[in-house]
Structure 1
């Protein structure tokens, strides 16, 4: 892996000190791959109508494939939840350990997979991982022991750890900041839809008498085959970046890149830059978003594996429990689409997360307060409310896409976020302990407390971003006055920063999304 060390101010790198005018030269070696196609200066102007048509063309391919990937991943990850009430011969603490194994694999492989993907063609690497985990999932049906099942779940987590960082980077390379949250919500909505789809499929399979294969084995074979099919589609059709997008003409590739110039977020760079990794680790905003992800992921780890058992404890049969997961998935899907739309419409990231937290706090309070009351309908409705927190993770992904610049820094922040996701999910599998069954009151209390803390954290992070934007505005104004630049000079300089692969700290023209 080649490592580039470069840490200098934006002004030193990109301006001509002798003339005090924007410089005509730029460090092409360290810039994005996009520079080879469109150059430093804005190469062409495209009409709003042309850009809208181009965006529609991208929308017909990129979000649907991303959605298929996320649909497959979430369905495969939560297959254990369905198997738990379909004859899976693993119980008690061993079930908790098997639940945990997936996230251990996720955790161990997150940083390596992100940096391997930076060196390779991103979509091709993603597709190969999907095919691999499809094979691993099918092998679950042949796992004869707890040890084998644990190992397969661990490998499954390793393969799936590349999904979210890859999709975030791909969306960030093709869409503007005010388009990213809605596009991410279009694939993240699959979390809710998988609950609907998976519940109905598992319900149908539950009628099998198991003479040929146990119902839980049929689930793994079907879902593994679906993953392999999706992986092949990704390998064939999903583009790695606008530079390599074969479904676009040469002119459309240039237009796709020019659309992104004002956002200052850059595209793709194959060189690992050590200083950008260090900046990610020393940026306070990174740790805020890591903590936010952790707080959100702990409930996810518990509910994604224990929600079926919780609903069943209300007095429903196994078959009823499977079918009753559908409304919760539909509510989660609608919530995801709404917060994604609102986030782009209002140029907000933190407030939509707050919208997701409030229903979860109410739902967890209902589950605690109504425990043992016998009000099955109210308790079931509370489980639908408590699951709405899951939509916030799509906005966290959008936050990373919109608020981080520098390809290595983006990759590092995404990796740190997904490490927090896996750690949170590991912890989450242990907040619903066997001795607390079937009510799991300590786990429900933990969820409510975590979501309340998350509320306050959202407002802190929002304030930090707005404060940094004010500082950048002052820096630009001071630079403009000192250099004697006019507005055209500033805009030209802003254009030339866009694909220099500078971090958001280096680039004074980068604007954070609150």
Structure 2
């Protein structure tokens, strides 16, 4: 088959129509070939996306979506999906930093922590996260997403509540298991976001659920403050009750997700049959679908060889060394370095959450007016680096406190990368693989972060603050490189023009990767 034949395929080949029989055939068949943007032949097989089956079954029901219908569907999806995603992410952050609150309520004293023993309570969490990231991603691909993540959440709520029981070795073991279980939520939400939302919506939606970390920070601080003020009124000390209360809330949330969140839009209990058809049509322009449960070795290799995979890894690594340090030592800095009392330190931690939960979605919303998310993220990351410099080097307490608060605009860069993976990494196995590598970088960064805060440098922890500045500057550089890479690739593809794919019905749901699909353009 010549390149000319492929290019003019709509004129020289009959229309390729997927059928129910072709979709359900368990044997792998090559149905046709196309040319990728690099000029290589790409085989389209019957091992396609799960959205294909629904598209085939309802091909006679498809109607064009006008702006009014699109707006109505977007609002309905947000009403049923967004609140529970935001609540879930809020709880996972509250659970993750529960040790930070407990640390100033008596955890370190009662478990006889000395030297850097406390830093290891965070490091072991991310060790578990790191070791189980690939198995978690495989489970999320192989089994229904919502059911899988809800089971993980229920179990991690139980483990969190049990953290009130053991001595130091058992506490470390439970924190490691907690890391294993919490490794599920970010890849699950990345998949869900790409299933339900159009490319141009994904940055804003990702910012809303990810920035709910700030809500978790506020809620966790409020719970810890209330328990401290009433310490002595309970049969358990306040630091233990932090784990019991947050654990029970998380168990309840897990059952709520199990009952409420559908595994795919086509299985949504809150959509009519016609709305399900329209929701599938909404995401057709993404040139992705709901996912494919089969592991594809070719897509895995493509993910490994894609240089952007490693840029995502480097960004996640460098941006989360500061994150690991701040989630573990934020309350301790306010208590020991800034000199606030235990109760005041808990209250002074709340503005951090407010900055994140308001600031990150605000800047994501502003970026919609420029039709580009990466430049806005680069700008805010630069602001974050300046805030880190204030925290590390400013002589005045007020300036350092301002730096501490403004640092919590930093997640906008990480949110951008999450949405970029949802939008720009096509092919389900490739998406899951790239997401896993990014989250491995996230884990390694959070593993390293607490170790930069050396007990011998307390209460200022000057070495840890310098590490935050250096890593922030490096993450800014990597983010710029990601933008340049996508910009140049789009220019190259635009110069070649679009390929006529009209002879392949529903090719958007053929589970092609972004490097295989000649009509794929990267969202900036």
Provide TM-score, normalisation by structure 1.
0.91
The match for 2:521 among 508, 511, 514 is 511
Structure-2 residue corresponding to 1:256: 279
Residues 344 and 241 (structure 1), Cα distance of their counterparts in 2 relative to 1, 3 Å cut: farther
CA distance in 1, matches of 2:130, 2:515: 28
- What per-residue deviation string (whole Å, max 9, x for no partner) do you get for residues 102-160 of structure 1? 101100111001101111111000100000000000001112x1110000000100110
Q: Which of residues 28, 51, 56 is equivalent to 2:70?
A: 51
C-alpha spacing 1:454/1:24, structure 2 compared with 1 (3 Å): same
The Cα of 1:439 is off from its aligned counterpart by 0.8
2:120 maps to 97
Check if 1:197 corresponds to 2:219.
yes
Q: Are 1:368 and 2:392 counterparts?
A: yes
Which of residues 316, 329, 343 in structure 2 aligns to 1:319?
Answer: 343
Are 1:289 and 1:417, in contact at CA under 8 Å, matched by a contact in 2? yes
CA distance in 1, matches of 2:272, 2:415: 31
- The 1:273/1:212 distance shift into structure 2, 3 A limit, reads same
Q: Is the 8 A contact 1:293 1:417 kept in 2?
A: yes
Q: What is the match of residue 485 of structure 1?
A: none
Cα distance per residue 1:269-311 (max 9 Å; x no partner) = 1111111111111001111111111111110000000011111
| SS of match in other structure, 2:229 | coil
> Quick one: which of 14, 29, 49 aligns to 1:32?
49
Select 2:356's aligned residue among 318, 325, 332: 332
Out of 412, 429, 436, the position equivalent to 2:450 is 429
Offset, 1:23: 3.6
Contact persistence 1:400–1:414 (CA under 8 A): yes
2:40 match: none
- Tell me how far apart the structure 1 counterparts of residues 95 and 369 of structure 2 sit (CA, whole Å): 32
- The 2-side partners of 1:463 and 1:215 are apart by 50
* Alignment match, 2:398: 377
Structure 1 residues 182, 17: closer, same or farther in 2, change over 3 A?
closer
8 Å Cα contact 2:146-2:261 kept in structure 1: yes
Tell me how far 1:19 sits from its aligned partner.
1.3
1:136 pairs, out of 159, 163, 180, with: 159
**2:502: which partner in 1?**
492
Q: What SS does the aligned partner of 2:149 have?
A: helix
Contact kept, 8 Å, 2:106 with 2:239, in 1: the verdict is yes
The range that moved more, 276-285 or 359-368, is: 359-368
SS of match in other structure, 1:505: coil
1:72/1:21 CA distance change after superposition, 3 Å: same
Structure 1 unaligned spans of 5+: 1-7, 480-489
2:38: which partner in 1? none
* Structure 1 match to 2:511: 501
**Contact 2:292–2:428 (8 Å) recurs in 1:** yes
* Closer/same/farther in 2, CA of residues 51 and 18 from structure 1, 3 Å limit: closer
- Residues 77 and 46 from structure 1, CA distance in 2 versus in 1: closer, same or farther, beyond 3 angstroms? same
Partner of 2:86: 67
Following superposition, the deviation at residue 213 of structure 1 comes to: 0.7
SS state of the match for residue 106, structure 1?
A: helix
Residue in structure 2 matched with residue 293 of structure 1 by the alignment: 316
Equivalent residues in 2 for 1:39-438, closer than 5 Å: 39=56, 43-88=62-107, 89-90=110-111, 91=113, 92-143=115-166, 145-210=167-232, 212-312=235-335, 313-370=337-394, 373=395, 375-438=396-459
Structure 2: tracts of 5 or more residues without a match: 19-30, 32-43
